[in-house]
Structure 1
Amino acid sequence: MGLTLAIETSSINYGVTLDGTETVLRRDDPSFTSIGGLVETALAAAGRTPADIALIAVNLGPGNLSSVRAGVAYANGLAFSLGRRVVGVHGLRVLAFAAAPDADLPVLCLRNAGAGNVYAAVYEHGKASLMRHGTLSDIAEAVRAAHSEIILAGSFRDRARELLAGVSVTDSGVEVPSSLATYTLTVTPPADADWAPADFVSPINEQTPPFTGEIP
């Protein structure tokens, strides 16, 4: 049976997971060369070669757009060279799963979008009930109107807790997504998963649906 490779480049912590074994390295680590080098390290440790990879999964973001583009470009290039397909997974879903894989409570996921804005989503049982690009105060207002309890994940959690006065808040302590979460979501996707293997995938930013219109 072929291997599943998952790639994470949406933050400073680059990671690859090869059939459940995760390798993580900060991109500012002196030993870091490239995401391709990290994949080669993981393959060598497993005694495998690129030809053994059957499926490639990658976090599409949102996140650091330059880094996400690097990860998506590498995933697409590797898939093209091997004749494989790519699974693109929404980064906020990855963050929600990394923060609270078994939680019954909704999870508010936040990523820095720059210029005073955030990418935000609320996930309930693996499905997004809210997804927006805007100011943290606007996001907090929408969350307060809809939820009495929430789990926080991602960026600006301390500030979000302040803005969510009156809401029972649990801090997951999870700052960024992981390749292991992307891998798990790929090999055992929830019933409502809205992605499928594609020939090529593209990064997510504020111009990408569903950020161009609020869910639901």
Structure 2
Amino acid sequence: MALILNLETATTNCSVSLAKDGKVISIKEFDSANYSHAEQLHNYIKEVLREASFSLQDIAAVAVSKGPGSYTGLRIGVSAAKGLCFSLDVRLISIPTLESMARQLNVPQEHLIIPVLDARRMEVYSAVYDRDWQEIRSTEAEIITEVSFQSYIATNTVHVIGSGAEKCRGVLDHPNVIFDTAVVPSAREMAHLSQKKFEASDFENIAYFEPFYLKNFILQNKKT
């Protein structure tokens, strides 16, 4: 039996799940624009363990959402995950934030999923997945313009999801695009992914692992 604790703190949603053999058996989450992660994360960890009648000593690994996302949110999640792994002597697993978002949708054949997280101004973090959640374009940071994602939109129905979807809605005017701003990263979708990585022994180096920030990706012109 693999019991894995999953931590998601990359955005406004503070989310913790406990999964047994890839199935969620307990979850606690709260989506707040005030970023309650520092106050709530460890409380949620205690709550999901108590609800499932397990203790920290029972877990085999800790999985953490690795980003991209909020710098502070990612730091909180990764710091908590590392601390638990060191103290419990268990493995650390990292999960791509955008992939777990994409797995919230089940779409028809030929449809694509583009999770987008709001960054600065007209910038977003995004990736492109097919209906089987296979990555067909890796994570990038980009400024949204009228030509963004056009090679996918022109020939496919595209689901643009996440906190950056509203920003995209104001720019991408095409009948093939479906927007969903309600999707946020959740520890629920992490369960299947963390189990797969656990079975493949795909673990991170606890001492050296860092979140995938994608920060400072736009070079700003300095005023003279």
Contact kept, 8 Å, 2:13 with 2:30, in 1: the verdict is yes
Give the Å deviation of 1:101: 4.2
Q: 1:184 to 1:166 in 2, by over 3 A?
A: same
What TM-score results when the alignment is normalised by the length of structure 2? 0.79
Amino acid at match of 2:64: V
In 2 relative to 1, CA 103–94 (structure 1 residues): closer, same or farther, beyond 3 Å? farther
Q: How does 1:1-216 map to 2 (within 5 A)?
A: 1-19=1-19, 20=24, 21-26=26-31, 28=34, 33-98=39-104, 100-101=105-106, 103-104=108-109, 105-124=111-130, 125-130=132-137, 131-137=139-145, 141-147=147-153, 148=155, 149-188=157-196, 196-200=202-206, 201-206=209-214
Q: Which has the larger radius of gyration?
A: 2
CA distance in 1 between partners of 2:55 and 2:107 (Å): 34
Q: Secondary structure at the match of 1:204?
A: coil
User: How far apart are residue 142 of structure 1 and its match?
Assistant: 3.8
Query: What is the DSSP-based 3-state SS (H/G/I as helix, E as strand, rest coil) of the residue aligned with 1:10?
Result: coil
Q: For 1:23 and 1:102, locate their aligned partners in 2 and report how far apart those are by CA, in whole Å.
A: 26
Cα contact 1:8–1:179 (8 A) shared by 2:
yes
State how far apart, in whole Å, the 2-side matches of 1:159 and 1:2 are.
Answer: 40
In 1, the alpha carbon distance for the partners of 2:31 and 2:165 equals 21
Q: Distance in 1 between matches of 2:84 and 2:152?
A: 42
Over aligned residue pairs, what C-alpha RMSD do you find? 2.8
Cα distance in 2, alignment partners of residues 103 and 204 from structure 1:
30
- Displacement of 1:172 in angstroms is 3.9
Q: Secondary structure at the match of 1:33?
A: helix
What does the per-residue CA deviation read over 1:15-59, in whole Å, with 9 as the maximum and x for residues that have no partner?
1111202111346598x8341221011111222110001121111
Cα separation, partners in 2 of 1:199 and 1:103, compared to 1, 3 Å: farther
Deviations 1:60-119 (A, max 9, x none): 111111011100111111011111111101111111112x14553111111122243111
User: Contact 1:120 / 1:133 at 8 angstroms: preserved in 2?
Assistant: yes
CA distance in 1, matches of 2:65, 2:106: 17
Q: Give, in whole Å, the separation in 2 of the partners of 1:146 and 1:34.
A: 39
Paired with 2:30 and 2:174, the residues of 1 have a C-alpha distance of 38
Deviations 1:106-151, CA, capped at 9 Å, x for gaps:
11111122243111111123232223212111xx524112333201
Using structure 1 for the length normalisation, give the TM-score: 0.82
2: CA distance, partners of 1:132 / 1:84: 31
Query: Where does the alignment leave 5 or more consecutive residues of structure 2 unmatched?
Result: 219-224
Among the aligned pairs, what percent are the same residue? 24
* 8 A Cα contact 1:92 1:110, kept in partner: yes
Which AA in structure 2 matches 1:11? Answer: T
